[in-house]
Structure 1
Amino acid sequence: MKGLGHKELEETLKIVASTIDSCEKAQHKFVEHTPQYTLLKNRIKALYISKALINNENVIDRYTKDEIMEALPPISSIISKCEKAQQKFAEGTSHHTRLNKMIKAMYISKSFIVEEINKRV
């Protein structure tokens, strides 16, 4: 992705990997086929897709265009939830800073997904 430095991509990958880990741990708490389980399943897949794109892996053979497109809503949902949560904390607090890093990483993830969708038009 143009305009992003190596350090920024590393930080994004670290946050995406950490979020995948958290979601996978949380998913075990829910019964399969429940809305919460499905939400996490979709979120995890979207995060794996964005991780692969950020790592510049060949995703053409691994994910269909529809799967790539289906990755957008879960990433957008994470952004929305983080932005809403961030409003509860004062700027400069550790929670605000952590959420800010998460929001930035998810916007970067989203841009990689959009870029991949546009390549497949």
Structure 2
Amino acid sequence: MKEEIQLYRDVRKSKNLFLKTTGICVVLAATLIYGLGVFDHVLKVKLVVGSALILAIMLFLLINALLKLRDKSPLIRINSNYIVGNTTLLSKAFGEIEWSDVEDIHLEKVAGDTLVVFYS
């Protein structure tokens, strides 16, 4: 392998996820407004606290997703000497993994996703 293989984020899937997250945030905001009693003048405390908490978490995730959407760096780089992944905290912590350290590679299905597992 002379050239380097670089795998990038699928922008279409990321935008689709962004739209779905925005829709959920709109529904949560409407639930929060309803719980505050804007329409029937009755405060629903449990509904307000629950929807506000979930809305805050969703907005945090939405902002992080938007920041990552602007990142144009490759998620995985493979060349003849090493492999580098930037997909999870663990892969970032390992940094460059040399091919001499890899003993075996397997594909494993987990919850509908296919994972590439490296054994050393």
Assess same fold via TM > 0.5.
no
What TM bracket, shorter-length normalisation?
Answer: 0.3 to 0.5
Q: TM-score, normalised by structure 1?
A: 0.45
**Bigger relative contact order, structure 1 or 2 (CA pairs below 8 A, ≥6 apart):** 1
Comparing both structures, which one devotes a greater share of its residues to helix? 1
Give the structure-2-normalised TM-score: 0.45
Determine which structure has more spread, i.e. the larger CA radius of gyration.
Answer: 2
